[in-house]
Amino acid sequence: MNGQRLSLGLCWLLLGGCVSFGNAGLADREAMTQIKAGETTREQVVALLGEPDSTRVIDLSGATFERWSYRRSSSIINIWEYIPVPFYGLFFHGLGTPDVQHNLDVFYGPTGLVTTRFYTETAYETGGLFTPMTLTTVTSVDSLPGRSGKPVHWEDKVVAHRDGYSPDR
């Protein structure tokens, strides 16, 4: 009987944990700042993050432009949230919903240098009986605007709650 209880307890512990898919490098915001418009090459991005999840090549009047996309999703599953009230966690904690989603799109010009880095990190907190649902998105853009030659950096943070949103700048 004690062996069965121990086995059941170990199964519950093994079901919890962290699950992630995609490029682990995207979770490092500092690494994202190393990709700079007008400076970073394709080779440097590959050295930093590896091959992209998807690419798109556009030929425009003989000039080739590219977009490389990287993605990462991660979730922490706390099995203890599902024990006190059966199925409570399934409805209020969003089993299957990522806790954090990272998206990176890197655009290259004909010279092979980055022209725009567009990075978004979204954290989902689905809430519960006593906590509100919250969605926090941080967007960071580094881009070469037109012909000026000087990169522009822009960052924004938006926190959305069940009853509305509030920009947090």
For every residue of the chain, DSSP letters joined together read -HHHHHHHHHHHHHH-EEEEEE-GGGG-HHHHTT--TTT-BHHHHHHHH-S-SEEEEEEETTEEEEEEEEEEEEEEE-GGGGSSSTTHHHHHS-TTS-SEEEEEEEEE-TTSBEEEEEEEEEEEE---SSS--EEEEEEEEEE--TTS---EEEEEEEEEETTEEEE--
Is the confidence at residue 154, as pLDDT, over 80? yes
CA-CA distance, 142 to 117, in Å (whole number)?
A: 5
Residue 120 lies in a domain: yes
Q: Give the model's pLDDT for residue 66.
A: 96
Sign of CA dihedral 131, 120, 153, 26: positive
Any domain includes 117: yes
pLDDT value, residue 83: 54
Task: Say if 80 falls within a structural domain.
Answer: yes
Does 2 map to a domain? no
Q: Which of 6-15, 68-77, 132-141 has the lowest mean pLDDT?
A: 6-15
Instruction: Note whether residue 6 is domain-resident.
Output: no
Query: What is the tens place of the pLDDT at every residue in 60-110?
Result: 888 999 999 999 988 776 555 555 555 555 555 555 455 889 999 999 999
CA 152: distance to chain centroid? 22
Query: What predicted TM-score, i.e. pTM, was given to this entire model?
Result: 0.73
pLDDT at 13 over 50: no
Task: Measure the CA–CA gap between 10 and 13, rounded to whole angstroms.
Answer: 5
What mean pLDDT do residues 117-129 have?
A: 82
Q: Which residue reads 């605007």 in tokens?
A: 145
Mean pLDDT of 46-58: 95
- How many domains are there within the chain? 1
The reply to whether 10 falls in a domain is no
Is 107 a member of any domain? yes
Domain span holding position 134: 36-167
Ranking 26-30, 66-70, 153-157 by mean pLDDT, the lowest is 26-30
Q: Name the residue with higher pLDDT: 120 or 93.
A: 120
pLDDT at 169 over 50: no
Residue 168 pLDDT = 52
Percent pLDDT > 90 in the chain is: 40
